[in-house]
């Protein structure tokens, strides 16, 4: 990958994780999930907007029977999490007795996933696990078990491959990190 710097709004970002590495990690994740959920017909719950590319590339590589549904739960503005967790929008499936796998773009403080897991638990699923493309372990503020992580990264703000900076950058095929 040729190093590249881009500007989104007022910030510069440089290439960080190339598409090839992202896909290679997603292939490994899909293999893990295929094994763990064989015979269980899991329901993937993808958290919009950030996880749309990750969800598409992961689901194409899942070979066991499964379902996918998209929910919304925005709690992020600018570069700092507000810590507020909003209610789940768009969850029309009955998840009681289902094996649910939440798909996230990134786990940062963990507020979003923590709040989401609490709300999902009330609906009586057979199991709930989280699969995330990226995780920033240094930032985690909750006791959370994120069982499936494609890649852990340091505490840098990143964009691309679904992740945005104030709305921009979601369309980029590689992941970029902020130039500090
Ligand atoms: P958390 O609630 O602090 O774990 O934040 C999770 C959400 O914040 C993610 O679903 C993203 O939408 C957003 N987020 C966290 N870190 C980043 C980042 O580095 N770039 C873009 N969005 C981020
Ligand atoms: Mg998100």
Domain assignment present for residue 7? The answer is no
Number of structural domains, the chain? 1
Find the CATH number of the domain harbouring 79: 3.40.50.2020
pTM, rounded to two decimals: 0.94
Asked whether the CA dihedral 52, 55, 58, 61 is positive or negative, the reply is negative
Domain assignment present for residue 165? The answer is no
Residues lining ligand 1, judged by CB closer than 6 Å?
A: 50, 75-76, 81, 104-112, 157-159, 163
Which ligand 1 atom lies nearest to the CA of residue 139? 3
pLDDT digits (tens, 9 = 90+) for 152-180: 999 999 999 999 999 999 999 999 999 97
pLDDT digits (tens, 9 = 90+) for 118-153: 999 999 999 999 999 999 999 999 999 999 999 999
Q: Would residue 108 show up in a list of annotated catalytic residues for this protein? A: yes
pLDDT digits (tens, 9 = 90+) for 71-95: 998 554 545 555 565 688 889 899 9
Which two tokens mark 109? 């403080």
pLDDT digits (tens, 9 = 90+) for 23-34: 999 999 999 999
Pairing type for strands 11-17 and 175-178 reads antiparallel
Domain span at 88: 19-153
Distance 171 CA to ligand 2 centre (A): 14
Residue with tokens 């340091």: 154
Which ligand 1 atom lies nearest to the CA of residue 110? 4
Q: How far apart are CA 66 and CA 63, in angstroms?
A: 8
Which residues, 6 or more positions from 36, have their beta carbon under 8 angstroms from its beta carbon? none
């Amino acid at each position: 990958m040729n190093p590249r710097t881009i500007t989104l709004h007022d910030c510069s970002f440089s290439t960080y994780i190339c598409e090839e590495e992202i896909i290679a990690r997603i292939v490994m994740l899909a293999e893990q999930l295929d094994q763990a959920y064989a015979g269980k017909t899991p329901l993937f719950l993808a958290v919009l907007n950030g996880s749309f590319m990750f969800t598409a590339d992961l689901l194409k590589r899942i070979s066991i029977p499964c379902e996918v549904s998209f929910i919304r739960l925005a709690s992020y503005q600018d570069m700092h999490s507000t810590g507020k967790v909003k209610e789940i929008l768009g969850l029309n499936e009955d998840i009681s007795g289902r094996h649910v796998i939440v798909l996230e773009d990134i786990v940062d403080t963990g507020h979003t996933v923590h709040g989401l897991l609490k709300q999902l638990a009330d609906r009586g699923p057979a199991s709930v696990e989280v699969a995330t493309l990226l995780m920033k372990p240094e930032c985690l503020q909750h006791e959370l078990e994120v069982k499936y992580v494609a890649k852990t990264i340091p505490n840098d703000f990143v964009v691309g491959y679904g992740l945005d900076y104030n709305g921009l950058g979601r369309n980029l095929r590689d992941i970029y990190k902020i130039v500090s």
